[in-house]
Amino acid sequence: MSQKRELEKLTGLDNLFGDEVEQSLSDSTLPLSQIILPASQPRRYFDPEKLKSLADSIKEVGLLEPIVVRQIEENKYELIAGERRLKACKIAGSERISVVIIECDDKQARKLRLVENLQREELNTWEETIGILELLTHELEKDQEGIVSLLYQMNNESKGNSNHNVMVSEEALAIQRIFLQIGKISWESFVSNRLPLLKLPSDIQAVLEQGQIEYTKSKEIARIKDNEKRQNILKKAIEENLSLSVIKELVGDILQIQSESKPQSPQQQNKERTSKIYKALIKSKIWDDEKKVKKVNRLFDQIEALLEEKKEDAS
């Protein structure tokens, strides 16, 4: 088995690396005290219960899959892949850990971490979205704002709403290639279903990052603009594991109350008044009274004259 395939086996990496990672590999064990986390680590949240479960398993049968590290100075190694396993070994009280030591520079190490992070099966929607954005910023050497802007430009052009020819640019082609290689989601679906996550309120983003609620439920709750009411519903949805249909009903009730209590503008009041008068006239018995019908017709004539004046002013 080649060195490259061995690394893929250990870290779950795919062909995103091309021929970049043909590095020397060596199996070993290291003291946990010699392994440090990088300054920028893609993984953000670890479920405490799952960590404890893994730690218990390590105590019983040992670590089944080594972590991947690189040496940065004498007796100091930087983690590349396996932060969850590293944390669980610390909880289990291990003094040493099985490692695969590779040789790579800073840029390759960051890419390895980003892609390994994206290959995890338990990745939640928020983590996956941020992970893909970080990989794109790394590969295209643009900031997140620039990547998001480019994705929206690509989306507009693909729908015929733009003629800037962004889709044939090197950056757009690179984005399409990366999404094909990731294989989890198309770039079009990412724009439609994942970029809106970045616009959600911070309290919604926080529970998404921790995997406490599904994206579809959080998006519905985010429709509530009142912070206190939104947080109450969010807490209730998580604690009681409410279904999406129940959440929609609760959110709908809150939005309906807010809509009814919101002061109407004069224009809205006039439109509502006109609608009520029209409905009342249709149902009224006034049409059986000839004198009243004549009065109504005179009012109609005045209204029509006003409408004609409006047309003349606009022309």
**pLDDT, tens only, 224-276:** 999 999 999 999 999 999 999 999 999 999 988 877 656 667 887 788 888 88
∠ CA 107-108-111, rounded to 5°: 90
Q: What is the CATH number of domain 125-258?
A: 1.10.10
pTM above 0.75, yes or no: no
pLDDT digits (tens, 9 = 90+) for 35-85: 999 876 665 677 788 889 999 999 999 998 899 999 999 999 999 988 889
User: Quick one: DSSP state of residue 167?
Assistant: G
Written as six digits, the tokens of 60 are 């019983």
Sign of CA dihedral 230, 233, 239, 241: negative
pLDDT digits (tens, 9 = 90+) for 81-121: 888 899 999 999 999 999 999 888 888 888 888 888 787 76
User: Quick one: DSSP state of residue 81?
Assistant: E
Q: Check residue 2 and give its pLDDT.
A: 40
Amino acid at 155: N
Residue with tokens 């770039």: 187
Hey, where are the domains in the chain?
3-117, 125-258, 274-307
Q: How far is 159 from 72, CA to CA, in rounded Å?
A: 48
Q: How far is 164 from 146, CA to CA, in rounded Å?
A: 16
Rounded to a whole number of angstroms, the distance between the first and last alpha carbons of the chain is 80
- Phi, psi values for residue 68, rounded to 5°: -115, 130
Written as six digits, the tokens of 56 are 């218990």
CATH of 3-117, one of 3.50.50.60, 3.90.1530.30, 3.30.9.10, 3.40.50.2300: 3.90.1530.30
